[in-house]
Chains A and B, each alone.
Chain A
Amino acid sequence: MSVEANAKPALLEIKGIKTYYGNIIALKGVDLSVAEGEIVTLIGANGAGKSTLMMTIFGSPRAREGQIIYNGRNITKLATHEIARLGIAQSPEGRRIFPRMSVYENLQMGASLNNFAHFTEDLERVYTLFPRLKDRATQRGGTLSGGEQQMLAIARAIMSRPRLLMLDEPSLGLAPLIALQIFDVIRDLNKREGLTVLLVEQNAFGALKLADRGYVMVNGLITMSGTGKELLARPEVQAAYLEGGH
Chain B
Amino acid sequence: MSVTTNPERAAGRSDIVEAFKQAAWAAVAAAALSFPILLFRAGANINNMLVVRSRPLLVLGLVAAIFVARFFIVIWQSGRTTRVKSSGIGISPQTAFQLKALLVVLLIAYPFIMYWLTGPFGSLKWINNYGIQILIYVMLGWGLNIVVGLAGLLDLGYVAFYAVGAYSYALLSTKFGLSFWICLPLAGILASLWGMILGFPVLRLRGDYLAIVTLAFGEIIRMILINWTAFSNGYAGIASIPHVSFFGLPFEDDDTHLTFASFFHLHFMPIQQTIFLYFLILALALLTYFVTMRIRRLPIGRAWEALREDEIACRSLGINTTITKLTAFSLGAMFAGFAGSFFAVRQGFVSPDSFTFIESATILAIVVLGGLGSQIGVAFAAALMIGGTEILRELGFLKYIFGPQFDPVQYRMLIFGAGMVVMMIFRPRGLVSTRTPSIFLNEARTISGANVKEGHG
Task: Decide if A and B are genuine partners.
Answer: yes
Chain A interface residues toward B at CB < 8 A:
58, 60, 79-81, 84-85, 89-90, 92, 96-102, 104-105, 108-110, 112-113, 115, 137-143, 156, 160
Shortest A235–chain B CB gap in Å is 37
Report how far A137 CA is from B441 CA in the complex, Å.
Answer: 8
- Which residue from chain A places its CB closest to the CB of B315 in the assembled complex? A80
Interface centre among A60, A90, A98, A137, by most chain B C-beta atoms within 10 angstroms, is A98
Shortest A159–chain B CB gap in Å is 9
Shortest B372–chain A CB gap in Å is 10
Contact B452–A140 (Cβ < 8 Å): yes
Residues of B within 8 A of A109 (CB): 302-303, 306, 314, 317, 319
- Which residue from chain B places its CB closest to the CB of A109 in the assembled complex? B306
Contact A110–B441 (Cβ < 8 Å): no
Residues of A within 8 A of B447 (CB): 100, 102, 138-140
Contact B456–A104 (Cβ < 8 Å): no
**CB within 8 A of B306: which of A80, A84, A98, A142?**
A98
Residues of A within 8 A of B320 (CB): 79, 81
For this complex, 21 residue pairs linking A to B, each with C-beta atoms less than 8 Å apart, are: A79-B320, A80-B315, A81-B321, A98-B309, A98-B310, A99-B457, A100-B447, A101-B305, A101-B306, A102-B447, A104-B441, A105-B302, A109-B314, A110-B317, A112-B303, A113-B318, A138-B437, A138-B445, A140-B447, A140-B451, A160-B317
Closest 9 CB pairs of A and B: A99-B457, A84-B318, A98-B309, A96-B313, A80-B315, A142-B457, A113-B318, A142-B452, A85-B318
Residues of B within 8 A of A139 (CB): 447
Chain B interface residues toward A at CB < 8 A:
299, 302-303, 305-306, 308-310, 312-321, 435, 437-441, 445, 447, 449, 451-452, 456-457
- Which residue from chain A places its CB closest to the CB of B307 in the assembled complex? A98
Report how far A108 CA is from B306 CA in the complex, Å.
Answer: 11
Residues of A within 8 A of B306 (CB): 98, 101, 109
Report how far A160 CA is from B308 CA in the complex, Å.
Answer: 21
Interface centre among A99, A137, A138, A139, by most chain B C-beta atoms within 10 angstroms, is A138
Shortest A38–chain B CB gap in Å is 21
Shortest B437–chain A CB gap in Å is 5
With contact pairs A138-B445, A138-B447, A142-B456 given, residues A104 and B316 touching in the complex (Cβ less than 8 Å): no
- Which residue from chain A places its CB closest to the CB of B87 in the assembled complex? A138
Residues of B within 8 A of A141 (CB): 457
Report how far A78 CA is from B321 CA in the complex, Å.
Answer: 14
Report how far A160 CA is from B299 CA in the complex, Å.
Answer: 14
**CB within 8 A of A84: which of B302, B317, B451?**
B317
Residues of A within 8 A of B319 (CB): 81, 109, 112
Shortest A82–chain B CB gap in Å is 8
Shortest A197–chain B CB gap in Å is 16
Residues of A within 8 A of B435 (CB): 100
Report how far A115 CA is from B310 CA in the complex, Å.
Answer: 20
Report how far A105 CA is from B306 CA in the complex, Å.
Answer: 9
Shortest A89–chain B CB gap in Å is 8
Shortest A120–chain B CB gap in Å is 10
Contact B312–A92 (Cβ < 8 Å): yes
Contact B318–A96 (Cβ < 8 Å): no
Residues of B within 8 A of A100 (CB): 305, 308-309, 435, 447, 449, 452, 457
Residues of A within 8 A of B316 (CB): 58, 80, 84, 89-90, 92, 96
- Which residue from chain A places its CB closest to the CB of B88 in the assembled complex? A138
In the complex, besides A81-B319, A97-B310, 7 extra interface pairs with C-beta distance below 8 angstroms are A81-B317, A109-B302, A109-B317, A109-B319, A112-B299, A138-B441, A160-B317
- Which residue from chain B places its CB closest to the CB of A58 in the assembled complex? B316
Shortest B82–chain A CB gap in Å is 15
Report how far A161 CA is from B286 CA in the complex, Å.
Answer: 39
Contact A81–B456 (Cβ < 8 Å): no
Shortest A189–chain B CB gap in Å is 18
- Which residue from chain A places its CB closest to the CB of B457 in the assembled complex? A99
With contact pairs A99-B452, A100-B309, A100-B457 given, residues A112 and B318 touching in the complex (Cβ less than 8 Å): yes
Contact A105–B312 (Cβ < 8 Å): no
Residues of A within 8 A of B451 (CB): 140, 142-143
Report how far A111 CA is from B321 CA in the complex, Å.
Answer: 16
Shortest B317–chain A CB gap in Å is 6
Report how far A156 CA is from B440 CA in the complex, Å.
Answer: 17
Contact B440–A138 (Cβ < 8 Å): yes
With contact pairs A98-B305, A112-B299 given, residues A105 and B318 touching in the complex (Cβ less than 8 Å): no
Contact B313–A92 (Cβ < 8 Å): yes
